A and B are shown apart, each in its own frame.
Chain A
Amino acid sequence: MNQPLALTAAQKAGPAVTTLVLGALLALLVALPLLHLLPPDSALHVSAYTLTLVGKILCYAIVALALDLVWGYAGLLSLGHGLFFALGGYAMGMYLMRQSAGDGLPAFMSFLAWTELPWYWYGTSSFLWCLALVVLVPGLLALVFGFFAFRSRIKGVYFSIMTQALTFAGMLLFFRNETGFGGNNGFTGFSRILGFSITAPGTRAVLFLATVALLAGSLYLGWRLAQSKFGRVLTAVRDAENRLMFCGYDPRGYKLFVWTLSAVLCGLAGALYVPQVGIINPSEMAPTQSIEAAVWVALGGRGTLVGPLLGAGIVNGMKSWFTVAFPEYWLFFLGALFIVVTLFLPKGVFGLLKKGQP
């Protein structure tokens, strides 16, 4: 019943209104980095703090969208999407660490008295190879995990628990210094990307624009998928998988495709997150991070494409204010928010907006 609400809403409000609102938002997001390029004493100047904060939230919005594809449409609640996000981030971080280190070893390796790079670090001084890793590592992990999980017909809460365990295992692995990814400190202290200073306004602006482009691209991709027969098959997987099998569909392929696509989107979001925020460490793989992503989606509205973006924006916007104003109460507030949404807004904020329409 909460099938493409975005579509129905668009049909009701008329495509013109939807296009207008989305267009205005897009124009605003494109304007932000350009305003950042203005001299700091200008009245319209956007600070690096604001730009980074919005850029970070946009990365999270991509994760929310990716999670919505698997949870809202195919009914697979993943509590481990933080792992794919972090893996993409680490792949990008490897390149950034090599850039900072120049010809030498990354600082944390010298600290461990290592004399040469571990084998999996070879080639990471190449930007293109790291981009490939950003896609391949989360993608292949999701493919292998999904293949076995879906083949064994694991679903529902068991699937959620396994994804949670997977990200927890990843976190423990990356916490170890011996793993070769900087242990609990992770990667930080980046200086250059593709030869440009990473803190220069121009670099920040380009990274921000790339994030906006990825978000817009993901939204368009999600919209096309939701409109296609593929999207309807996913909804059918969610609602009556047995019926679908007796119609002659093999649900495994459908789940595997959307699951892997979702992981790759998360990896790309992570790769854009790291140079903007300037740090990646194993806490990104903490189970709570992945659960928070599920809260964004639930709050915004499952099975709608715009809803999760709203959810990620609202929760993270509140978080950045709350953690400054009342830092010790944030987690209680987040928990309360989730309970309220589950009890009173089964279709999320987006469902509320839609109800408000005449």
Chain B
Amino acid sequence: MKASAIPELMLEPILDAGSGRDAVGLGSRAGKQLDVRHGTLLTLEDINVSFDGFKALRELTLYIGVGELRCVIGPNGAGKTTLMDVITGKTRPDSGTAWFGETFDLTHMSEVEIAQAGIGRKFQKPTVFEALSVFENLELALKTDKSVWASLRARLSGEQRDRIDEVLATIRLDGSRQRPAGLLSHGQKQFLEIGMLLVQDPQLLLLDEPVAGMTDAETEFTAELFKSLAGKHSLMVVEHDMGFVGSIADHVTVLHQGHVLAEGSLEQVQADERVIEVYLGR
């Protein structure tokens, strides 16, 4: 008997404004193995991390939806970088669960496996391969088979070249494609690293202070870039620059002493008494 035999008994998906295919669970924009049926890309629950008795994260719970652009703010030592370390497998939580989609248990994966599963990370200090040219930096980051054997015989296809050219244009480094990355300015290195994330095509981008050291124009451009990425990718941005946060975020999480203090729109958290007390400094 066919499943659709009694149509009147089946639930029709409600496709009104504001509920995309993801929201009603009709499939995801994510990659093949990644399963985000319930619309949540990243699930962190009751995460505890301590270093020599110092509790860097306490019972931290955080969800990031598919296509969401989330800003994480908080005073120094609030655990923002530790949070990224937990997600990327650099630090193992003492307890708690961390899931990427429905299928990847991040607490049992290596850094490399997590990166291959589709989580990209930009470091606080821009880190690029200084001896290699801008183009080669992007070539290495490109989403492809990254085993030793594949690299020994790798040839860039026309499609891959186009993809790199496209990203070079996006990050405005067309003119510097053959320059060694070590000779780029600080801001250009930031953009190159963002570009390396883009060609990697991750589902979730973690960005640690992406606009530090950028000029106002560059910051504005970065804000536009991130807004255009949201929707296709999920982004988690750690940033101190409140102006930048205000210009991009639809959702803000405030961390304090390793704990989520408040969550909501920027206006909401700015109005929150506890946030004002610990962070906005009044």
- Collect the chain B residues with CB atoms within 8 Å of residue A233's CB: 140, 151
The reply to whether A248 and B146 contact each other, CB–CB distance below 8 Å, is yes
Report the Cα distance A244→B151, complex, angstroms.
13
Contacts of B146 in A (CB 8 A): 247-250
CA separation between A249 and B147, bound complex, in Å?
7
Number of chain A interface residues as a range:
20 to 34
A235 within 8 A of B: yes
Does A158 make an interface contact (CB < 8 A)? no
Q: Quick one: CB contact mask for A113-127 with B, threshold 8 Å, 1 for yes?
A: 000000000000000
The verdict on A253 contacting chain B, using a C-beta distance below 8 Å, is yes
A230/B151 contact (C-beta < 8 A), A245-B111, A246-B121 known: yes
Say yes or no: B141 contacts A247, CB within 8 Å: yes
Partner of B115, one of A229, A230, A247: A247
A247 surroundings in chain B (CB, below 8 A) = 115, 140-141, 146, 196, 200
Interfacial chain A residues near B273, Cβ < 8 Å: none
Partner of A250, one of B112, B131, B153: B112
The residues in A between 230 and 271 inclusive whose CB is less than 8 angstroms from any CB of B are 230, 232-233, 235-236, 238-240, 242-250, 253-254, 257
A357 within 8 A of partner (CB): no
Tell me if B115 and A245 are in contact (CB < 8 A): yes
B128: A residues at CB distance < 8 A = 240, 243
> In the assembled complex, how far is the CB of residue B225 from the closest CB belonging to chain A, in whole angstroms?
20
**Pair A236/B129 contact, Cβ less than 8 Å:** yes
Residue A228 interfacial (CB < 8 Å): yes
A89 CB, min distance to chain B CBs, angstroms: 29
| Size bracket of the B interface | 20 to 34
With A246-B88, A247-B196, A253-B148 known to touch, is A1 a contact of B115 (CB < 8 Å)? no
Q: Known: A3-B132, A245-B111. Contact between A253 and B139, CB under 8 A? A: no
Task: Please state if B182 and A1 are interface contacts (CB–CB under 8 Å).
Answer: yes
- Among A232, A242, A254, the most chain B Cβ lie within 10 Å of the Cβ of A232
Q: Of all chain A residues, which has the CB nearest B156?
A: A229
Question: Which positions 105-130 of chain B face chain A at CB distance < 8 Å?
Answer: 110-112, 115-116, 120-121, 123, 127-130
| Cβ-closest chain A residue relative to B153 | A228
A203 adjacent to chain B (CB < 8 Å): no
B154 at the interface (CB under 8 A from A): yes
Closest to A253 in B: B148
Residues of B within 8 A of A243 (CB): 123, 127-129
Chain B contacts of A160 at CB under 8 A? none
Contact A239 B129 (CB under 8 A): yes
Give bound CA distance, A235 to B148, whole Å. 14
Let me know if B131 and A248 touch, CB within 8 A: no
Chain B residues with Cβ below 8 Å from A240 are 127-130
How far does the Cβ of A152 sit from chain B's closest Cβ, in whole Å? 14
User: Does residue A2 face the partner (Cβ distance < 8 Å to B)?
Assistant: yes
A-B contact pairs, 13 of them (CB 8 A): A1-B182, A2-B131, A228-B152, A230-B154, A232-B139, A233-B151, A242-B127, A243-B127, A243-B128, A246-B115, A247-B146, A249-B112, A250-B112
Known: A228-B153, A254-B151. 10 other contacts (CB 8 A): A230-B152, A236-B129, A240-B127, A245-B112, A246-B88, A246-B121, A247-B140, A247-B141, A249-B146, A253-B147
The chain B residues found within 8 Å of chain A, CB to CB, are 88, 110-112, 115-116, 120-121, 123, 127-132, 136, 139-141, 146-148, 151-154, 180, 182, 196, 200
